[in-house]
Amino acid sequence: MLKIYILAFICCLFQIKANSQNLVISTGFDNYAGTVATVPVGWYISWNTSNSFYTSTGNYGLAAPSYKFGNDSDIVVAPWTAIAKDSISLFVRGNGTPFSPANELQFFQSQDSITWTQVAVIDSLPTTGTTIGVNLNGDPYLKLLYRKQSAGGNLAIDDIQIYSLATNVVQVKDEIKIKLFPSPSTGMIFIKLPENQKLPSIEIYDLLGNRINNIFVEKKENGLYGLDFTGKRSGFYFVKIQFDGKLFTKRITIQQ
34 and 117 inside one domain: yes
Residue 62: how many other CB atoms lie within 10 Å: 10
Instruction: State the pLDDT at residue 254.
Output: 86
pLDDT beyond 60 at 154: yes
| pLDDT band with cut points at 50, 70 and 90 for residue 219 | confident
148 and 192 inside one domain: no
| pLDDT band with cut points at 50, 70 and 90 for residue 2 | very low
pLDDT beyond 80 at 4: no
90 and 17 inside one domain: yes
35 and 81 inside one domain: yes
What is the CATH number for 202?
Answer: 2.60.40.10
| The model's pTM | 0.67
Q: Per mean pLDDT, which of 95-104, 159-168, 243-252 is the most reliable?
A: 95-104
Instruction: State the pLDDT at residue 37.
Output: 92
191 and 156 inside one domain: no
Contact 249, 240 (CB under 8 A): yes
157 and 200 inside one domain: no
Give domain status of residue 174, yes or no: no
Q: In whole angstroms, give the CA distance from residue 86 to residue 109.
A: 10
106 and 134 inside one domain: yes
Give domain status of residue 83, yes or no: yes
pLDDT beyond 60 at 7: no
Select from 155, 32, 24 the least CA-distant residue to 88: 24
Burial zone of 165 (CB within 10 Å; 0-12 exposed, 13-18 middle, 19+ buried)? middle
229 and 198 inside one domain: yes
184 and 154 inside one domain: no
102 and 42 inside one domain: yes
What is the CATH number for 55?
Answer: 2.60.120.200
44 and 149 inside one domain: yes
Select from 89, 109, 81, 119 the least CA-distant residue to 21: 89
Instruction: State the pLDDT at residue 176.
Output: 58
Give domain status of residue 172, yes or no: no
Comparing 1 with 203, the larger pLDDT belongs to 203
pLDDT beyond 50 at 242: yes
Q: In whole angstroms, give the CA distance from residue 4 to residue 136.
A: 12
Give domain status of residue 173, yes or no: no
Give domain status of residue 37, yes or no: yes
Q: Of all residues in the chain, what percent carry a pLDDT higher than 90?
A: 48
| pLDDT band with cut points at 50, 70 and 90 for residue 3 | very low
Comparing 17 with 27, the larger pLDDT belongs to 27
Burial zone of 47 (CB within 10 Å; 0-12 exposed, 13-18 middle, 19+ buried)? middle
> Poorest-confidence range of 90-94, 143-147, 225-229?
225-229
Select from 48, 101, 54, 96 the least CA-distant residue to 75: 48
Q: How many domains does the chain have?
A: 2
Instruction: State the pLDDT at residue 100.
Output: 94
Domain that holds residue 236: 179-254
Q: Which helix (H) or strand (E) holds 19?
A: helix 8-19
Q: In whole angstroms, give the CA distance from residue 132 to residue 125.
A: 10
Q: Which helix (H) or strand (E) holds 220?
A: strand 217-221
Cα 64 to chain centroid, rounded? 21
Instruction: State the pLDDT at residue 243.
Output: 77
pLDDT beyond 90 at 190: yes
